[in-house]
Chains A and B, each alone.
Chain A
Amino acid sequence: MSTALRRDRLPADAPAGAPALPPFWRRPRARRLFWQTLLVVLLAGAFGWLAGNVHSNLERSRLAFGFDFLDDASKFFMGPNPYGYAPGDTVLEAFLAGILNTIRVSALSIVLTTVLGTLLALMRLSRNWLVAQVAWLYVETMRNIPLLLQILFWHAILTHLLPNAREAWKPADDVYLSRKGLYLPDLVVGQGLTAALLALLVAGTAAWLLRRGAIRRRERLGHAGRLRWLGPALIVLLPPLAFLGAGGSLGLDRPVARGLGFEGGRWVSPEFVALLFALTIYQSAFAAETIRSGILGVRKGQIEAARSLGLKPSLVFRKIVMPQALRIIVPPLTSQYLSLTKQSSLAVAIGYPDVVRVSVAITSDTGRAVECIAIIMAVYLTLSLLTSLAMSVFNRRIAFVEK
């Protein structure tokens, strides 16, 4: 404390009539030190007290803090899933399957939200009055009804109004839609998948290099050359050729009605569909407003200048409006996608096995509340961090165009 106080002294060249130093509790530096120390002490005390309580409570119920239970066998039942998880696998594997479920539904919903949100934004900006009104009604309604209500609604629709498994709708061969969900034939790839993926990578790299060459050529010579079709052709043709060359074979795993349900095939659960619908419908209303205000944020002079250069309306939109609007849109849209990912945890209300649902089930099986909550928080914080990292890279790329 004394060093901090000493620095508070007036400078040596202060005028002789300078007022005396105020008492130490009036000096800014001392007060800052006091408040910060107080905050640290209070926080440390509170955390210590809470941790002590947790410790004694756990001791009373003969539990110890630790993550060793992750290796135990899990009782959690997930149903058919693409990760091959089944009850009896370790708790860690149950968590991983839950995390993958969270990522799967959020990623798909983000893609659909972007498409639907952009469409709605364009509709609201349309010169057609009727189209704009319809989009406005959608946005105002959907964003003012709680997401959880929408999730429960879609889930009820899918589990009440659809027919029983025995009288399932058959919109196409080997496709069954019923209260048990949607059963589709699943594509089974024999060997050759690795070869096809490798070929796709090679073709993609080649196409990218060709395109860069073409752009450079156009800048130098004014035309891109006649080999423009080569890149896309490589991407389309090379992977199937490699697949066949590696002796690949394709098969279909068809769902078969058995007992009260179906076996085999690819299963899309009603919970997944309800969650996907509700998340997309709710969030696209918000995305539409973000995208609309981004497009409106592009200055009118830019559009007029582009028009007066003789650009077609579609080119004006693609080359002038969109690049500038994206700079306004991307930051708020990123945080919206983050909140979408977090809101996918509402799945717990309808029993979609996302990470929160898995964690709640495992908490009630093992009593490891502290550890399970810590795992959920760590998962979401990591997802948040990764998303904002990816978006900031994207943001830097589109912001860099400015000269």
Chain B
Amino acid sequence: MPAAFPPPAHGRPPALPNPPDRAGPPRVERGLVQRNLAWARANLFAGPWNTLLTLLVVALLLWTVPALLDWAVFDATLAPADIGLCMERGGACWAMLQDTWRMILFGPYPPAEHWRPALAVGLFALLVVISLVPAMWLTAGRRRLLLAVWPPTLLVLAVLMHGGVAGLPVVETRLWGGLPLTVILASVGIAFAFLLSLVLALGRQSSMPVVRIVCIAYIELMRGVPLITLLLMASILLPLTLPADVTIHPYLRAQLAFILFFAAYMAEAVRGGLQAIPRGQYAAAKAMGLSYWQSMTRVILPQVLRMIIPSMVNIFISAFKDTSLVIVISMLDLLGTAKAATSNPQWWGLFIEPFAFISAIYLVVCSAMSWYSRLLERRYGTAGAHD
């Protein structure tokens, strides 16, 4: 089983080892300073080699951290200013972000209406966070409530973004960009790819040879080519494969490429879970008189999904990061708007600041996802396998 079930790639920071004197003879109570000294001796200065390493790292930190702080804080230009003052002070030009952050976050969306995508992303994030709290889905009633809340909320968010009702001016989808576009591409992509992956994984395990071969061929083909090929296909090849009078919105084409691509990777994760379920579970479900679909949805898949939380979340994280690839087919997601900000003539030559800004967004979202996956895994992950 361990082979089918690699340890999660996201390790947690190493726990502090026990103080070395723990196993020793009981002594009188010692103060905070002594305990800390003992910890430092065991973890920083254990032997000459270890001490040398510590000194090396300290030297490295002394060399880099002050320079970084100088750049980011002490020499930085915070107040509204122009690029000349920034260049003079030599540090980070946060003034540029004050000027461009709304453009980076919302792209070409009309500035007067920026509150709408901001509210939409905020509401979406709130709904996601609420849905992720375990207490919200541990009972069937609350699960039904969540399922009932999601579709109308999504509809409201879409209306909020698009407008056209209640006096909101219409904002065409080609003006959507920045963070909302990244969030839409990632969340819609993940949701549909997940559903498709369940079908593909079950198909790959099917006893019907044609179904199995089709699913294997699809999964291996998708996993064998880079995502960029799929995006290029969606933007160059897809129009060629449709009748001349049919056109598909560029956003939908990119979205389709993401769904088709990540479904293959998710299907492999699901397959890993399916193979790790003991045969007895399948047999028991059959003995209960459950049909194939009943036994899958009631018995097998719930256990599989618990098992594959870590690998699934890793795929979610890479899907979120890989939405940035749409800049290759000239769509303006978060990375696209940041890149556009670097070619702003008013702030010519500054690129570290916008890149640092969106890096922080990606870092926070991805770290939060992996932190949540570790939490789920600790609480519920392996419990299913032993029930």
Question: Hey, which bits of chain A sit against chain B, CB under 8 A?
Answer: 32, 35-36, 39-40, 43, 50, 53-54, 56-58, 60, 124, 126-134, 136, 140-141, 143-149, 152-153, 156, 160, 286, 289-290, 292-293, 296-297, 332, 342-343, 345-346, 348-349, 356, 360, 363, 369-370, 373, 376-377, 380-381, 384-385
Contact: B54 with A149, CB < 8 Å? no
**How many A-B contacts are there with CB distance less than 8 Å?**
163
Q: B324 contacts the other chain (Cβ, under 8 Å)?
A: yes
Contact: A128 with B54, CB < 8 Å? yes
Contact: B240 with A53, CB < 8 Å? yes
Q: B305 contacts the other chain (Cβ, under 8 Å)?
A: no
Of the residues B11, B211, B363, contact of A141 by C-beta under 8 Å: B363
Of the residues A50, A290, A345, contact of B229 by C-beta under 8 Å: A345
Contact: A148 with B208, CB < 8 Å? no
- By a CB distance below 8 angstroms, the chain B residues around A332 are 6
- By a CB distance below 8 angstroms, the chain A residues around B328 are 346, 348-349
Q: B377 contacts the other chain (Cβ, under 8 Å)?
A: no
The segment from B24-32, B112-120, B156-164, B241-249 found at the interface with A is: B241-249
A360–B236 CA distance with the chains assembled, in angstroms: 10
Contact: B359 with A356, CB < 8 Å? no
Of the residues B208, B224, B359, contact of A381 by C-beta under 8 Å: B224
With A43-B214, A149-B335, A332-B6 known as contacts, the answer to whether A36 contacts B54 (CB < 8 A) is no
Contact: A127 with B50, CB < 8 Å? yes
Scoring B2, B61, B242, B321 by chain A CB atoms within 10 A of each residue's CB, the highest score goes to B321
A376–B228 CA distance with the chains assembled, in angstroms: 10
- By a CB distance below 8 angstroms, the chain A residues around B321 are 144-147
Contact: A148 with B211, CB < 8 Å? no
A343–B324 CA distance with the chains assembled, in angstroms: 13
Q: B81 contacts the other chain (Cβ, under 8 Å)?
A: no
Contact: B229 with A149, CB < 8 Å? no
Contact: A145 with B362, CB < 8 Å? yes
- By a CB distance below 8 angstroms, the chain A residues around B143 are none
A380–B221 CA distance with the chains assembled, in angstroms: 10
- By a CB distance below 8 angstroms, the chain B residues around A363 are 236
Show 6 A/B contacts (Cβ-Cβ < 8 Å), sorted by A: A39-B211, A127-B46, A128-B44, A128-B57, A143-B366, A380-B224
- By a CB distance below 8 angstroms, the chain B residues around A380 are 224-226, 229
- By a CB distance below 8 angstroms, the chain A residues around B232 are 356, 360, 373, 376
Q: B43 contacts the other chain (Cβ, under 8 Å)?
A: yes
Contact: B10 with A289, CB < 8 Å? yes
Taking the closest CB of chain A, its distance from the CB of B201, in whole angstroms, is 16
With A136-B13, A152-B339 known as contacts, the answer to whether A348 contacts B228 (CB < 8 A) is yes
A113–B377 CA distance with the chains assembled, in angstroms: 29
Scoring A133, A144, A147 by chain B CB atoms within 10 A of each residue's CB, the highest score goes to A144
Q: B349 contacts the other chain (Cβ, under 8 Å)?
A: yes
Taking the closest CB of chain B, its distance from the CB of A29, in whole angstroms, is 11
* Supplied contacts A39-B210, A146-B321, 15 more A-B pairs, CB within 8 Å: A32-B207, A54-B240, A127-B17, A128-B46, A144-B317, A144-B370, A146-B322, A149-B362, A152-B355, A160-B351, A293-B9, A345-B229, A346-B328, A370-B237, A377-B229
* 10 A-B pairs closest in CB distance: A144-B366, A342-B226, A129-B43, A36-B210, A146-B321, A345-B226, A156-B351, A50-B241, A146-B324, A381-B224
Contact: B244 with A54, CB < 8 Å? no
- By a CB distance below 8 angstroms, the chain B residues around A376 are 225, 229, 232
With A148-B325, A369-B237, A373-B237 known as contacts, the answer to whether A129 contacts B351 (CB < 8 A) is no
Contact with A along B36-74 (1 / 0, CB 8 A): 000000011010001001100110110000000000000
